[in-house]
Amino acid sequence: MRHTGLILIMCLLSGTAQLYAREISATLQADTTRIEIGDWVRVRLDVTIPKTASLRSLQIAAVGGRAELVRMLSETADTLPDVYVSHRQFIVSAYDSGIYPIGPYLITANINNRIDSLITDSILLYVSTVPVDTTQPIRPIHPVIRVPYEWREFLYWYLILGLMALMVAGFFLYMRWRKRTPADTGKRAPLRVPVYQWVRAELKKLEEEKLWQKDEVKEYYSRLSDIMRLYLEYRYGWNALEETTEEISVQIHRYEINDIAKDLLLEMLRTADLVKFAKMKPAPDTNTKCMKNAYEFVDITKPVEDKPDKKA
């Protein structure tokens, strides 16, 4: 009886151990176990656990040796009546000849609040080099292959160059049109008197308005430079109202204006530009000097009227 009971207990323990061992199962398969350097191998790992259990960890990291995990392909699962099956597919490669193991992998699951684990088998991957015919002579390196260009490759640059060409052409056309456009006639005063009398009257009027004394310095210099530019137009037929001070300084030698008058005019115009565009705050004596320069320039460049012949 004692021996019979012992045998019965051993049978029960054996049955329990077999049931426990079958709670987790796994299969590791590869498309092939022989590749050449750089080829890819598709590997599949299937893990089966009870339906009520859950996988705690299943990591596919390094595959062993110098073989490399290229990437994961898919992770899917099937739920059957009694079990849960997890499927994982991944790509493995090797870049040197040799024999490399894929796996084993540790699988851990929670089964009825009990941690169970399993270590899978491994697959040996045989990696060979590219066969070389040693009976053939070593060939020289092939020259670089010249591939002809296609116009589509440069379409983007063609569009940019074309746009830049249009912008440059448009700029020059605008400048040419601007040169030919007459000055704003709204700023011109009708000349019912000689130009000399007109310009002195305008300067006198501006002087009497005392703009810079009222802290309207910018308006003062804008009016002063416009009056002198209009004087150049009426006196010499020069469209100076549409030109910058630097353009005037370049073209002034074309007209009968001596160096003294030229320096007086350009000093006044450049001071006006500093006030208008650089927001300079000139001293009071500078304001009066610019007005004085304008008067002196007009007096120097006053038209010489034909005098009657006394012998006539």
Q: Report the CATH number at residue 51.
A: 2.60.40.740
Domain contains 6: no
pLDDT number for residue 295: 94
Chain mean pLDDT for the chain: 81
Q: Are 49 and 56 in contact (CB under 8 A)?
A: no
Q: Is the pLDDT of residue 83 over 60?
A: yes
Structurally, the chain folds into a number of domains equal to 3
pLDDT band at 180 (very low <50, low <70, confident <90, very high): low
209 and 295 share a domain?
A: yes
247 and 173 share a domain?
A: no
Which whole number is the average pLDDT over 224-230?
93
Residue 76 tokens, joined = 């899917």
Domain contains 256: yes
170 and 199 share a domain?
A: no
Q: Is 92 exposed, middle or buried (0-12, 13-18, 19+ CB in 10 A)?
A: buried
- Last residue within a domain, chosen from 113, 128, 143: 128
102 and 39 share a domain?
A: yes
Residue-number span of the structural domain to which 164 is assigned: 153-180
pLDDT band at 131 (very low <50, low <70, confident <90, very high): confident
How many residues appear in the chain? 312
Which whole number is the average pLDDT over 98-120?
85
94 and 171 share a domain?
A: no
Domain contains 84: yes
Domain contains 5: no
Q: Is the pLDDT of residue 2 over 50?
A: no
Which whole number is the average pLDDT over 190-210?
88
Domain contains 8: no
Q: How far is residue 110 CA from its own chain's centroid?
A: 53
173 and 215 share a domain?
A: no
* CA–CA distance, 78 with 57 (Å, rounded to integer): 18
Q: In what order do the strands lie in the sheet with 106-111?
A: 54-57, 106-111, 114-119
Q: What is the pTM of this model?
A: 0.41
Q: What one-letter code names the amino acid at 170?
A: G
197 and 296 share a domain?
A: yes
109 and 34 share a domain?
A: yes
Axis crossing angle, helix 217-236 with helix 195-209, rounded to the nearest 10: 180
Which whole number is the average pLDDT over 251-263?
91
Percent of the chain with pLDDT strictly greater than 70: 83
pLDDT band at 105 (very low <50, low <70, confident <90, very high): confident
Domain contains 160: yes
- CA-to-CA separations, 224 to 36, 178, 203, 204, 260, in angstroms, rounded: 90, 23, 7, 11, 19
Cross-strand partners of 68: 93
| DSSP collapsed to 3 states, the chain | CHHHHHHHHHHHHHHHHHHHHCCCEEEEEECCCEEECCCEEEEEEEEEEECCCEEEECCCCCCCCCEEEEEEEEEEEEECCCEEEEEEEEEEEECCCEEEEECCCEEEEEECCEEEEEECCCEEEEEECCCCCCCCCCCCCCCCCCCCCCHHHHHHHHHHHHHHHHHHHHHHHHHHHHHHCCCCHHHCCCCCCCHHHHHHHHHHHHHHHCCHHHCCHHHHHHHHHHHHHHHHHHHHCCCHHHCCHHHHHHHHHHCCCCHHHHHHHHHHHHHHHHHHHHCCCCCHHHHHHHHHHHHHHHHHCCCCCCCCCCCC
* CA–CA distance, 213 with 225 (Å, rounded to integer): 18
Nearest Cα neighbor of 231 from 168, 296, 281 is: 296
pLDDT band at 178 (very low <50, low <70, confident <90, very high): low
The contacts of residue 196 (CB under 8 Å, 6+ apart) are: 298, 302, 303
The residue ranking higher by pLDDT, 200 or 57, is 200
174 and 193 share a domain?
A: no
Q: Is the pLDDT of residue 64 over 60?
A: no
- Max mean pLDDT among 74-78, 111-115, 259-263 falls in 259-263
